[in-house]
Amino acid sequence: MALGRWASYSCTDQDGQFLALQVHTAANLGACLSTVSTCVPTTLHATLLAGRYAAPETWCAVDAMFTNTAPVDAYRGAGRLEATGVVRRVVETTAREWGLDPAERRRRNVITRFPQATPVGLTCDTGDYDATMARAIELADVANFEARQAAHAAKGLERGLGFSAYIEVCGIAPSAVAGALGARALAVRGRQGAAAPHRQGNGVHRIAQPRPGPGPRDHLRARAADKRGSPMDDTSIDHGATAKVVFGMGTCGRRPLRVGGSAIVKAVDKIIAKGRTIAAHLPEAADTDTDTDTDTVFKAGEFTVAGTAKKVPFATVLRTACMPHNFAHDKLASGLDENAFCDPSNFAYPAGTYGCKVEIDPTPGHTRIDRMTAGDDFGNVISPTIVEGQVHGGLARGGGQALPEHGGYDPETGQLLTGSHKA
């Protein structure tokens, strides 16, 4: 919501508990619409205005307008971060009015019971919001802040400490849930993934989404290889395979692994189910000799024959499927290529609390970020290195946007005045 404006009103009881939140947002969409520009200030913004807090009533109205400025599109949490900003200011302002510590204000209203249905129709399935706040406060060394603040004040320096608590939605589309919330651009149900093993046992997994970088690609390879019980070196991901995969979308909204990866896993599940039937028709076993429990039939790349020590390697099943001269043609078609769709029934809700210590030298007007702390709950982390890199990048990007960066336009012509670093 570049150059957006909002007004908010909150109602609390005598104990400082939220009763209602009302927000009126004015959103600049630029000179024309992008694919998801209308979703940013509406679906992605209004649905998170309750934030991490138990606000029984939430109301939001959005005025979206065309202007003579650049079109707006989604970028790093578009819509959600604006909602976080609204809620943060409401919490901070009301805490001061009540004479409460902002952290205590947050604790009094934070959701503690899960699953929790929010007033805007989403259901937060799990979380521990107090833990992330406690971690951020611990890292910020709040207990000693006032002493350091006084010491810096004696030197003529201003020192401040602020916190912001967020909740995000990830893996948001394409899904029926997104469509039900009004995001028609994201309403197509499901993302397709395809799995096509080579005859020598290697697997090629196709997905329509473009390649976002080495991290998500390796994540997808790891999930597919783990499911097939094969080494990652025998598994490849074919990104952007729109000629062979019916449908898919871009990588935004944290979709590559949660939605695209789940579609690939479903396709592999279908291959394993078909492979179980093929294995039962091989000379090593008959239908009645094969264990049908999915936990024991296929493991570590092999099909196990029930009640015996006999095992049928996946490569043997694959060769049989591709050269079908000794299994039931009346029951199965040849080959092991499969397609699958993933239509997420809900979003994922990572959450966290960030703290920032800022030091200002009033005479020259210099501002310095002294320390930033982060307490995050991302759920199941597959690659800690990549996740930590995302956090570090977000901290740097957020600091840049909050302090030195600004996109300015001539109010009459709409000409961008900050088109280069020389501006």
Q: How far apart are CA 295 and CA 94, in angstroms?
A: 54
Three-state DSSP class for residue 56: coil
User: 199-208 burial string, b = 16+ CB within 10 Å, else e?
Assistant: eebbbbbbbb
pLDDT value, residue 275: 85
DSSP secondary structure of 113-147? SSSEE-TTS-EE----HHHHHHHHHHHHTGGGHHH
pLDDT value, residue 158: 94
* For helices 129-140 and 102-109, angle between their N-to-C axes, nearest 10 degrees: 170
- Per DSSP (E only), the strands in 17-135 are 18-30, 57-66, 116-117, 123-124
* For helices 262-281 and 314-322, angle between their N-to-C axes, nearest 10 degrees: 80
The tokens for 139 are 């890292």
Query: Which amino acid, 205?
Result: H
User: 383-402 burial string, b = 16+ CB within 10 Å, else e?
Assistant: eeeeeeeeeeebbeebeeee
pLDDT value, residue 188: 46
Answer whether 196's CB lies under 8 Å from 270's CB: no
Q: So what CATH class is 190-342?
A: alpha beta
Instruction: Going residue by residue through the chain, which has 423 residues, state the pLDDT in tens, using 9 for 90 and above.
Output: 344 677 888 888 888 888 899 999 999 898 899 877 888 888 888 888 887 888 778 899 999 999 888 888 887 778 888 889 898 998 888 888 888 888 888 888 889 888 988 887 788 888 899 899 888 888 888 888 989 999 999 999 999 999 999 998 887 766 777 777 766 555 444 445 555 555 445 666 777 666 766 677 777 788 788 887 777 777 777 777 777 776 666 666 677 778 878 888 888 888 888 888 888 777 665 544 444 444 347 877 888 876 667 788 888 888 888 876 766 666 777 888 888 888 888 888 899 999 999 999 998 989 999 999 989 998 888 778 888 988 999 888 888 888 888 888 888 888 888 887 765
pLDDT value, residue 173: 65
pLDDT value, residue 186: 52
User: pTM of this prediction?
Assistant: 0.80
Query: E strand or H helix at 80, and its extent?
Result: helix 80-98
pLDDT value, residue 359: 94
CATH number assigned to the domain covering 5-171+346-402: 3.30.365.10
Q: What is the DSSP letter of 53?
A: B
pLDDT value, residue 25: 92
What is the residue extent of each domain of the chain? 5-171+346-402, 190-342
CA 187 to chain centre: 17
